[in-house]
Structure formats: C-alpha cells, structure tokens
Amino acid sequence: MTAIHEFQSIYWVDTPHGEGIAILMIDYGIHQNTIWVVADKNDGRVRHYDSNDIKLSINNTIHLNDTKR
C-alpha cells in the first residue's frame, strides 16, 4: 500500500544536487525505500530522491546544525 505524506513544516535537506526543501514523502511499503520529493534551492526544480540519498540539514525544532546557537 502506498502512502503519501505532505510536510506541514519546512525541512531543509541536502541532496546530491545541493540544498532543497522537502515537499513530501512517498512510502511504497516495506520492500522499497521511501522517496522524498524536494524543491531545489537554486533553480526550483522538483526532484525525487531515494531516502539513502538525502539528509536533514537544519531542523529548527531541535536546533540540529544550527550555527547561530
């Protein structure tokens, strides 16, 4: 069963193409990795990434990698 989760908060992620904002996740079930749909910071292109290809770059809730604190 496929599930789609649209993010209500802004999540900045690092991708193979640079930094972007995660828009939604698509979960195809236990036999495939989750797909992240990300808007590129530089050109606005929307791309799909396997969950192994991205990492959370800033999380304002827990101040992950917050250089201002």
Instruction: Please name which of 27, 20, 16, 25 lies closest in space to residue 46, comparing C-alpha atoms.
Output: 20
For residue 45, give the 3-state DSSP assignment. Answer: coil
Matching residue, tokens 């036999």? 31
Task: Indicate if the pLDDT at residue 62 is higher than 90.
Answer: no
pLDDT band at 67; cut points 50, 70, 90: low
pLDDT in tens, 15-55: 999 999 999 999 998 889 999 999 999 999 999 999 999 99
What is the per-residue burial (b if ≥16 Cβ within 10 Å, else e) of 21-56?
Answer: ebeebeeeeeeeebbbbbeeeeeeeeeebeeebbee
Between 44 and 10, name the one with better pLDDT: 44
Please state the pTM of the whole predicted model.
0.79
Task: Indicate if the pLDDT at residue 69 is higher than 80.
Answer: no
